Structure formats: C-alpha cells, structure tokens
Amino acid sequence: MRLQRCLIPCLLLASASTLAAQTARTVEETPFLAAPGGAVQATLLPETPLTLGEARNSWRRATLEGWVWLPSLRKVGPDVVVARPGGENLRDAPNGQRIAALQPGLRLLELERRDNWVRVRRSGWVRAAALRSPDARPDSTHRPAPAVAAATAAPATAAAADVPPLPATRSGPAGAPLLASPDGDTLARISPLAAVHVLESRDGWSRVRIDGWVPTRLLTTAADSAILDDVTAATFSASPELLRGRLVRLSLQFISLRNAEPIRTDFAPGEPFLLTRGPDLDNGFVYVAVPPALLDAARRLAPLQHIHVLARIRNPRSALMHAPVVDLVEFLTPPQP
C-alpha cells in the first residue's frame, strides 16, 4: 500500500511532464503544411504556439488554434472555411495579435463563438527545425540574430567582434520577389539592380536585408489591433497587406445599400454592402459590408448622408474596382430615422 501511495503521484507527475513537452513555439515565420512537403495551409508567424503530435523524419505534426473574424468564414457542416479570396489572419484572441495567415479555402474546426469572432483549430505539419520548447529563450536557437545585430550597429563594432561583414550584392536586371520565407507569401518586389545584403544562404535561397526609407506616416508602433485614423487612398495603395484585418475609423458619404453580385468576389453572394464615397479617401469609393445585426440601421440611411463608422479592413484593394472593402463594426454617427 505504501508503494502504491508513492507510485500514483509519481505517475501523475510524469504524465504532466509528458504533456508539457508536447507544446512548442515557432522560432521564425514558417509554412504550416497539410502533409510533410505538401500544400501550404497557412504561414505561421514567430512565437506561434502549437501542440505537437507525432514526429516523421524532420517534420512534426502540430495543432494550431486561434480566433478568426466571423465575416471572413463560411459555414460548411460542423466546420468553417476561410471564404475571403486573399485569406485571413488567425489571432491569439478576439481582436488580438496575429499568429498566422490562413490560406483561402482552408477548412477549420469551429470550437466556439464570441461576438463576431470564431475560435478554430486545424492540424498540419511543421519543420522540426522551426520549433522550440516554450521554456527555451527565443533568441537561443535563431543563429542569424547576433550577426545581424552586430552588422547593423556599426561596421567597426562588427570587425572588433570578429563578425564578418555582410556580403553585398544586387538584385538581377529583372528585380526579385521578396518572400517572408522560402515557402511564404510575397512581401514586396525588389527593384532591378537594388543593393541587398545577404544574411545567410541555404537550399537555393538567400535571406537578405534591404536598407531604405518609407514615409513615417505609413508606420506604427502600436499593436495591429489599434484603431487607425486619417487613412487616405495613398495609405491603402502603399501598404495593403499590412492593413488587412485592421480596425479603422472612416468618414464617408452614403450613396446606396446594395447586395453583392457574383462578380464581386470580395463578398459572399448577395451579401449586403454600403456603396460610399470617402472624403478622407480622396473622394474614392469605399465598399462597407453590413452584418445582419446592423442591416436595419443601414436601411435608415438617407442618400448622400455623411456618416462616421468603425470598420475592419477586409481588402484594401477590391478585385473588381480596386477600392477598399471593409466590414462594418459600428455606426459612430447614428443613422437618421
């Protein structure tokens, strides 16, 4: 009996330790695949939490969980599917930090709903080299970081620490796409013969650093859930991928309430939307998708009425008219009866 009393707590402790070892975080942006070497389901951002399963050669099976904006999903039986043509962000909490970019058409298990957010789960495969245990220091497994920091600080400091200077080269005559990872999304396109610094090379790919300048007004140090103000047409066209999923306050002029035709691929068929003109957007058009809860209020709008809205950016440039498409969150100016 005494032996049994000793064994039970020990077994429980061992079981808890095994469970803890099955969690991990990503150390870099990495693809989340349907099978080892298979189709990309999502792009995981650094520090994305995962629950691990079986190991297969250099791959680990992993389960991803997070929250997705409900209007970007379509219900299919017990599951939901990412319905936005450009994909959608996965966040660690409703309106929280981005942890992954989901591919359009990805099927997800729905776990719960909270307001206009859905908690979802999906299993896939990740390269084991892109993972670290939660208790490991984030910078302890990412070998390029010290060299980049030293080289960025000053060439003299790098030389004193015996860190070789970054190899300088140029893009080819046709330019080059800049990808988030070898299997990742395109972040930008490098101009022909632009100067780049090579940080590392492996498997036919080079990780590079580019020095340049951007307008300060297009940058923010706030979390990507912060509300944007003073957005202009130039902002939408200059950094569209950074704006997806962001909250924004807009001053608009209402034109009409419409239902989306099949040709408008940024909307679900028949989805109601406001056709508006935006004084803060250089008088261009803005399409405002209306959720069912706000449809009655939208019907009370009068043509040419000026309204102020809180909205979430669905697509900074629509496929049909290249105008912003946003999801209405709240009327900041109550519609007239």
Q: Which pLDDT tens digit goes with each residue over 1-32?
A: 554 555 455 444 444 444 444 889 999 889 99
Q: What is the mean pLDDT of residues 189-213?
A: 82
Residue ranges per structural domain of the chain: 15-132, 144-209, 216-331
Are 223 and 98 in contact by the 8 Å Cβ rule? The answer is no
**Lowest mean pLDDT across 3-7, 75-79, 185-189:** 3-7
| Per-residue confidence (pLDDT) for residue 320, from 0 to 100 | 72
Percent of the chain, pLDDT > 90? 26
Q: What is the mean pLDDT of residues 177-206?
A: 77
Question: Which helix H or strand E contains 278, and what residues bound it?
Answer: strand 272-278
Q: Cα–Cα distance between 296 and 293 in angstroms, integer?
A: 7
| Per-residue confidence (pLDDT) for residue 160, from 0 to 100 | 37
The residue among 172 and 281 whose pLDDT is bigger is 172
By DSSP bridging, strand 227-228 and strand 247-259 are: parallel
151 has a pLDDT exceeding 80: no
221 has a pLDDT exceeding 70: no
216-331: what CATH class?
A: mainly beta
Q: Between the CA atoms of 232, 238, 243 and 244, what dihedral angle is there, to the nearest 10 degrees? A: 120
Q: Token digits for 170?
A: 């140029």
Cα 313-99-75 angle, rounded to 5 deg = 60
Through-space distance between the first and last CA atoms of the chain, rounded to whole angstroms: 78
Q: Token digits for 332?
A: 């900041």
Q: Cα–Cα distance between 147 and 165 in angstroms, integer?
A: 9
The residue among 107 and 233 whose pLDDT is bigger is 107
State which amino acid sits at residue 191: S
CA distance readout (Å), 289 to 84, 101, 259, 275, 327: 13, 22, 9, 9, 5
pTM here?
A: 0.42
175: left (phi over 0), alpha (psi -120 to 50) or beta: left
| Per-residue confidence (pLDDT) for residue 264, from 0 to 100 | 83
**Lowest mean pLDDT across 64-68, 83-87, 168-172:** 168-172
